[in-house]
Amino acid sequence: MLTCREMVELVSDYLEGRLDDPDRERFEEHVAECDACTLYIEQMRMTIAALGHIPTETVSAEAERELLDAFRDWSSTRS
């Protein structure tokens, strides 16, 4: 099963249908057991619906790290 960190790193590929079957299954198993990650995915879906598609190449590596760190901090307070 994936960790929360691994789930966050794969969420874009999951939402865009780019995970292979084994990774998709591991992803879905984790989300089924993790309320924080379930909420995160719901928030990502709402954000995408509100803003449209944002290509990952437009997000700088620094911004991606900051977003991942912010989610990890938020997720650790929810556990």
pLDDT at 39 over 80: yes
Separation between Cα atoms, residue 79 and residue 75, nearest integer Å: 7
Label residue 73 exposed, middle or buried (CB < 10 Å: 0-12, 13-18, 19+): exposed
Separation between Cα atoms, residue 61 and residue 40, nearest integer Å: 20
Separation between Cα atoms, residue 68 and residue 64, nearest integer Å: 6
One-letter amino acid of 49: A
Indicate the pTM of the whole model: 0.63
- pLDDT per residue as tens digits for the range 44-74: 898 888 877 666 667 777 887 888 888 777 7
pLDDT at 79 over 60: no
CA-CA-CA-CA torsion sign (45, 20, 9, 31): positive
